[in-house]
Amino acid sequence: MRKPIILLIAILLIPLIPSYSQAYLELKDAYWSTPTLAFGATNTFTVEVESTYSGTLSGISATLTVFDVAGSDYSGTFSYAGSLFEGQVLVMDFDIFLPTDASASHYRAQLVIDYSADGTPLTQTMDLYVTVQGSPEVRCRLSANVKPGWPATAYLTVTNEGDGVARRVTVTVTPASPNVQTSSPIEIGTLDPGESRKVPLTLYIGDSADESVTLTATVTWLAQVGNGGQYTCTQALMVTEEPVRGLDVATNTTLLEPGKTNRVYLLVRNEG
């Protein structure tokens, strides 16, 4: 009788073990709540997360830790007594102390969130960067060959060349040549220092387009602290013609008998 009892206990304990495999909260934004920071004092760092869970999230508590700030780690906590539903954004404020010698551009941080998804306990970890002295500088580049009359894909490369986190990065693409259509704006989101992202861009090039078309891309962004910025790049894209396609004619007859009337079947295919 012991084995069934032990098995029953194990089954009852399984739901009590927190799950680390599910992630129902998505990081949307992270920034300091004031445009300037006070060193040697406590500042408020805000993190916004969105629920992607179709049910109810509750019992939310979180800890944000900023690592190795002038040799020490600093943490802040947050708790929310209400429920969170799919599509809702939760704004979490963390009080973080900044020492007077916090002189680095940005610091590595980790956000640990505990919550329940319809009664199932979960723990989710998010890695991020916290800007202190740095500032983002975002650059963009377009590159592609496109074909007239066909939906084509150009590639937009967006890179944060600065030493601070760029947030709410948005790119607006405008054709500078006639007979070109595209859709914008494009939401990039957050770019960490040194991060580069390649985004596909669908274009339609009219049949009467020139041998090259020009696109202008303007990227705008905000900073975690201080001012954001804007950058514009212009790129000429070469237009390559589609090869002319016509009719393909083939026969499935391989043997002809001399002195007789032979029936030959032709296979005609329109490749245009």
> CATH code at 207?
2.60.40.10
The answer to whether position 84 is within a domain reads: yes
Beta bridge pairs of residue 198: 157
Residues 123 and 148 in one domain: no
Range of the domain at 173: 138-239
Q: Which residue has the higher pLDDT, 166 or 179?
A: 166
Residues 110 and 173 in one domain: no
Task: Round to whole Å and give the CA distance between 256 and 269.
Answer: 23
Q: Is 11 helix (H, G, I), strand (E, B) or coil?
A: helix
Residues 162 and 76 in one domain: no
Which residues in 99-150 belong to E strands, given as ranges? Answer: 106-117, 120-131, 138-143, 145-146
Give me the mean pLDDT over the 225-240 stretch.
88
Residues 111 and 142 in one domain: no
The answer to whether position 92 is within a domain reads: yes
CA-wise closest residue to 131 among 50, 227, 62? 227
Predicted pLDDT of residue 13:
37
Task: Round to whole Å and give the CA distance between 52 and 115.
Answer: 13
Task: Round to whole Å and give the CA distance between 266 and 262.
Answer: 13
Query: Given pLDDT bands bounded at 50, 70 and 90, which one contains residue 111?
Result: very high
Give me the mean pLDDT over the 169-185 stretch.
85
Q: 123-173: per-residue pLDDT in tens? A: 999 999 999 999 999 999 987 666 656 677 788 999 999 999 999 999 999
CA-wise closest residue to 32 among 227, 238, 248? 227
The answer to whether position 47 is within a domain reads: yes
Residues 127 and 34 in one domain: yes
The answer to whether position 257 is within a domain reads: no
The answer to whether position 6 is within a domain reads: no
CA-wise closest residue to 124 among 17, 19, 16? 19
The answer to whether position 111 is within a domain reads: yes
Q: 95-109: per-residue pLDDT in tens? A: 999 999 999 999 999
Predicted pLDDT of residue 268:
80
The answer to whether position 104 is within a domain reads: yes
Q: Is the pLDDT of residue 272 over 60?
A: no
The answer to whether position 162 is within a domain reads: yes
Q: Choose one of 81, 105, 131: the last residue of a domain.
A: 131
Predicted pLDDT of residue 104:
97
Q: Is the pLDDT of residue 255 over 80?
A: no
CA-wise closest residue to 45 among 137, 104, 128? 128
Q: How many domains does the chain have?
A: 2
Give me the mean pLDDT over the 209-216 stretch.
76
Predicted pLDDT of residue 267:
78
Give me the mean pLDDT over the 115-130 stretch.
97
